Structure 1
Amino acid sequence: MEENQEALGRLDDRLKPPPELEEFWQKHPEIVKLGDPVLRMVAKPVVRFTKETQELIKRMETIMRDADGLGLAAPQVGVSQRILVYDVGEGLQVLINPKIVHRSGEQVEPPEGCLSIPGLRGIVARAKEVKVKGFDERGRPVVKKVSDLEARVIQHEVDHLDGILFIDRADPETLVWVIEEESELEVAGATDSRS
């Protein structure tokens, strides 16, 4: 395990953003960025659903929405707890102590990015459908069967809870730094319109 952590640390060191992304990286200082050790830790299970848990969930939702993210895991705000929030267009969803119990199919699109590695995109093969168990913000059991984008987001965020980043699963040939400006993407000096 220690050797694996060293290898991940070396990968993190190699993936420093280009200088033109420095300001973009500083845009949301409340989000922990690549290189912070908390992103490589296995988060601790939540054992009590307290007022502090509720406050953390609210803070995570605010941060995720301010950063225009689809999901956010507690380690991304510096808290090593197994909590994630997401919204793929159907309102805020909260999963505490989530465990993916079934995966099926495969999807490779769209490319993934991460609020903790702003500007980097890559292709990650994920299950097309997942079944996940956990608890909601009040401690009630939750079982969800989801597919497509929602399945991708849940898998991405559960990985965060296990100290795994999308760069660990991405096809390295597809990793590219992207500078987003309004409705255009600038990739390695070329401009591509977003559809």
Structure 2
Amino acid sequence: MAPSRDQAQLAEQVEELLAAGGPLPVVAAGQPVLRRGAEPYDGQLGPALLARFVEALRVTMHAAPGVGLAAPQVGVPLRIAVIEDPAPVPEEVAVARGRVPQPFRVLVNPVYEPVGTARAAFYEGCLSVPGWQAVVARHAEVRLRGQDGQGRELDETITGWPARIVQHETDHLDGTLYLDRAELRSLSTHEAVAALWAQPTPDAAAEALGFELPQSRTQLSR
């Protein structure tokens, strides 16, 4: 069966992106592609082109640098994301945030649902909203389902910072930016976060900037 016109257009778009070589341009907030739900991946790119696209996402994520990148962030409306986190943070920060190293992973058609009611609130940023961070309360534990880059089924429970990354990237595929879920009074430049709010938890920021941060929202399940 011949590919549909939409499939051919998506493949052509990705080929054009890859033709330039190197990291892909990251789309910034304000572009409609970031606000529309992405299409489920169903072979639109073909195995070889998918592999090349995934590698380009990886290169782009590393160059940014970031710990995750979703296809809409490079202008491609497909439910594909990559994540990788070496977790280069001090031990007290890693413990408070549940941040552990994550190997490179490809998420295809991911969906998540909360496990339990615990929530964790920490500063978070986004490559598509450059220069800013804000506190976001997210589920401390989620069930992730979908496929990997080879089409194998995923069904696993993820906690801590890896759960935050999964939620952030999957939200991108639904047209949601982290600012939609953020405590807007916490919004700070990268420089302000580094200078003032680099503590393991955002409690000091909540007190100084005047936003509510119930204790239950700063605790991770352990």
TM-score, normalised relative to structure 1: 0.76
Deviation at 1:29, TM superposition (A): 7.0
Q: For this pair of structures, how many residues does the alignment match?
A: 159
Q: Residue 49 of structure 2 aligns with which residue?
A: 52
TM-score normalised over the length of structure 2 = 0.67
Letter paired with 2:165 = V
How much does 1:90 deviate? 2.9
- The 3-state SS of whatever aligns with 1:163 is coil
Q: Which runs of 5+ in 2 are unaligned?
A: 1-22, 86-100, 200-222
Q: CA deviation at 1:93?
A: 1.0
* C-alpha contact 1:129 1:147 (8 A) present in aligned 2: yes
CA shift for structure 1 position 144:
1.9
Asked if the contact 1:176–1:187 (Cα under 8 Å) also holds between the matched residues in 2, the reply is yes
What percentage of residue pairs aligned between the two structures are identical?
Answer: 38
Query: Aligned residue for 1:16?
Result: none
1:115 is paired with a residue whose SS is: coil
User: Radius of gyration: which is bigger?
Assistant: 2
RMSD: 2.0
TM-superposition CA deviations, 1:75-94 (whole Å, max 9, x none): 00110000111012232011
Which residue pairs with 1:106 in the alignment?
119
Q: Which residue of structure 2 aligns with residue 24 of structure 1?
A: none
**Cα deviation digits, residues 28-53 of structure 1 (max 9, x gap):** 87111111111001000001152221
- Establish whether residue 66 from structure 1 lines up as the match of residue 63 from structure 2: yes
Pick one of 149, 152, 155 that aligns with 1:143. Answer: 155
* Aligned match for 1:96, one of 108, 112, 122: 108
Unaligned runs of 5+ in 1: 1-27, 179-185
> Would you say 1:80 and 2:77 are equivalent positions?
yes
> In the alignment, residue 41 of structure 2 is paired with which amino acid?
V
Q: How does 1:1-16 map to 2 (within 5 A)?
A: none
